[in-house]
Structure 1
């Protein structure tokens, strides 16, 4: 057994709890004691002392929706590589959408698991094979362990949604739907703004989001007992629509839409091709403001890995998506905490506790003893490259660039991978 004493670390125990600076004792990867109790246990066995001043010890993050199409033989990502990528970025829970080569629409396809302490959650499918023609067996999926039901990255036909909500087999489980009408996008992939026009990209009109959002809000009013959740809001108009609604449903936003916009990216940068389309600076500011006020509930990674061959295609010919579990916390800390003055608790609300509540789970707290913790050092400098990235995905953002802020250790990973002294 290896013991570490984290000296002067700042604890973020849980929601509605004040941070405190103390010493924490680890035995192997388990958090066993803090404060006076940690110091009382010190003489019992040798201990490695670690100066953790400036670091934060907090519950692991929760990703409410991402994509994994081929868990076993994927060239872009597998179940094990996704787990490694999640751990690198401090994510302890990841919920997967039903989209896959073998669409996860039946109980026998909802058998994916991660070993503890990692947690894998699976969304069941609203329709068979994701084809939006017939309803999938909702009750069977939920009985097998699906956390709720989800569509693909666009709005299913209204008739199918009405049938699903009237059947009401989802009961109190969430139903995750994207306010996006694919036919209205005109195959554009940058929002129709001045910045998109200047860049010369194919443009996606705002109505491809606002019209289906209007439909979903009306559907939610017609079926108030259903737990509707909006997936990946992306425009300032959609935010205003939600703000004017009497009882807006919970909503998510992709982490990348909080960091990038069509006025910020160089034409050669990775990250232009995402669904929903990337907006302009005003869209990004509106999304951040909605997140700060609680109008948007949670930040999703919406991890959509591509393999190296597909990554070589021109940006307008490849599938949409970016990888993100290893980067989200570091980059959002810089943007929101350092750049905008958010508190650490406010950041954890949208990356951990809000997503957990959206999935129908209890928000996590640091309860001793526990291996569900991460140690984040906001001042650590490191490089995002093959030595630090555990994902197989070729569509990594900021590849080869220096970053500030990283997860130094966690109960989710092998202590051999910790970098406590770096």
Structure 2
């Protein structure tokens, strides 16, 4: 028997709501026991002293980007999964804006076959809502559903509300998750950061909050009309949080998420002009950041997404306003969020783990991982005190586009069990 005993580890399990010190026995890919103290024969079992370490369910990322196919110099599926595993993510959900886009069953089958043998993370794919993710014509949604997409998302706003309405009506009987983002491109124009006092000071074109909120209000009207369940991606403004709260209070079938960087940073941080802070949607103003943090904690926003978006050094090393939007994050999110929210005392460890693991799985209509006897060992071991530097040799991702490059972080995943 291939068995391991983790002694006196801090077990965080949002499913049961427990945060306790316990011994955990793992054998043949399953959790065999979680008890105050477990005796084991060292000749048959690998015993590890885990005092000071945290054992939690594997993290689940709702949406991120792959370079492959089309942009393998940014990220391959192999490096993407390696980065996810290093960051504690046992389930990764990839957006369809690859080249070619994931808008047909044949392309999906190729990607599924390419990732089938990876033991560290379960990689799953969003199917495109529209051909080429161009927002003009519906894909063969039923065909993609039958081929095994986790759900449907373009990862880009769909401005044609008539098309969106027809698409949601068609999708309803398929019963798959649908993820939509909200932005009115006519209002955002050439804005590269959130409009406000900071954008004026920094001399950068502003993207007004109304570009998101007006599109969100229209999207919510379509959801109310069709009754199709929808996940709202990339919420970035305080007003959007209020619109979602009101919609949920009216009984609309919606869930919502923001990204990890929108919780940690705001428009004031753009003063460094680091191109890795050029995001879509842009970082909110300080009041937006506060509303997002409270929105996630209160449950108005269901989950935190990573939206890992790799770019090469050459693509990102340009003027801020000319940089493509996005940053990597799979290996950085847990330690930075833990330090900012849990160690500060603002959130409990259970609150953070819930929105990185349990709730994202539920948004995908999947059973969340749990730490209990008989459960599959989809778990990670996290050392909150381990220090490391964000640099090439310490990252699994091919790309380095992060504002934390060169900085020392505290906290890192030291082991990952997954049989996805």
Same fold (TM over 0.5): yes
> How many positions carry a matched residue from both structures?
410
Q: CA deviation at 1:412?
A: 4.2
Q: Is the 8 A contact 1:384 1:402 kept in 2?
A: yes
User: What is residue 242 of structure 1 aligned with on the other side?
Assistant: 244
| Whole-angstrom CA distance in 2 between matches of 1:199 and 1:86 | 34
RMSD between aligned residues: 2.2
- Aligned pair partner of 1:290 in 284, 289, 295: 295
Q: Is the 8 A contact 2:15 2:358 kept in 1?
A: yes
User: What is residue 229 of structure 2 aligned with on the other side?
Assistant: 227
| Whole-angstrom CA distance in 2 between matches of 1:272 and 1:385 | 17
| Matches for 1:19-38 after TM superposition, within 5 Å | 19-26=19-26, 31-35=31-35, 38=38
Equivalent residue of 1:271, what SS? Answer: helix
| Whole-angstrom CA distance in 1 between matches of 2:72 and 2:204 | 30
Equivalent residue of 2:338, what SS? Answer: helix
Equivalent residue of 2:13, what SS? Answer: coil
Q: Is the 8 A contact 1:323 1:397 kept in 2?
A: no
Q: CA deviation at 1:171?
A: 2.8
1:391 aligns with 2:397: yes
Equivalent residue of 2:267, what SS? Answer: coil
Q: CA deviation at 1:120?
A: 1.0
1:305 aligns with 2:310: yes
Q: Is the 8 A contact 2:61 2:305 kept in 1?
A: yes
User: What is residue 419 of structure 1 aligned with on the other side?
Assistant: none
| Matches for 1:323-402 after TM superposition, within 5 Å | 323-367=328-372, 368=374, 370-402=376-408
| Whole-angstrom CA distance in 2 between matches of 1:236 and 1:289 | 10
Equivalent residue of 1:394, what SS? Answer: coil
| Whole-angstrom CA distance in 2 between matches of 1:168 and 1:57 | 38
Between stretches 306-315 and 260-269, larger displacement belongs to 260-269
| Matches for 1:58-137 after TM superposition, within 5 Å | 58-71=56-69, 74-111=72-109, 112-113=111-112, 114=115, 115-137=118-140
Equivalent residue of 2:362, what SS? Answer: helix
Q: Is the 8 A contact 2:71 2:99 kept in 1?
A: no
* 5+ long unaligned stretches in structure 2: none
Q: Is the 8 A contact 1:371 1:410 kept in 2?
A: no
Equivalent residue of 1:392, what SS? Answer: coil
| Whole-angstrom CA distance in 2 between matches of 1:69 and 1:382 | 26
Q: 1:311 to 1:271 in 2, by over 3 A?
A: closer
Equivalent residue of 1:12, what SS? Answer: strand
Q: 1:105 to 1:169 in 2, by over 3 A?
A: farther
Q: Is the 8 A contact 1:149 1:170 kept in 2?
A: no
Q: CA deviation at 1:175?
A: 1.4
| Whole-angstrom CA distance in 2 between matches of 1:170 and 1:151 | 19
User: What is residue 42 of structure 1 aligned with on the other side?
Assistant: 41
| Whole-angstrom CA distance in 1 between matches of 2:14 and 2:238 | 31
Q: 1:239 to 1:120 in 2, by over 3 A?
A: same
Q: Is the 8 A contact 1:375 1:407 kept in 2?
A: yes
Q: CA deviation at 1:4?
A: 4.8
| Whole-angstrom CA distance in 2 between matches of 1:334 and 1:247 | 35
| Matches for 1:91-240 after TM superposition, within 5 Å | 91-111=89-109, 112-113=111-112, 114=115, 115-168=118-171, 171-224=174-227, 226-240=228-242
| Whole-angstrom CA distance in 2 between matches of 1:167 and 1:32 | 44
Q: CA deviation at 1:36?
A: 6.7
| Whole-angstrom CA distance in 2 between matches of 1:205 and 1:312 | 26
Q: CA deviation at 1:252?
A: 1.0
Q: Is the 8 A contact 2:382 2:412 kept in 1?
A: yes
Equivalent residue of 1:142, what SS? Answer: helix
Q: 1:247 to 1:38 in 2, by over 3 A?
A: same
* 5+ long unaligned stretches in structure 1: 414-422
User: What is residue 322 of structure 1 aligned with on the other side?
Assistant: 327
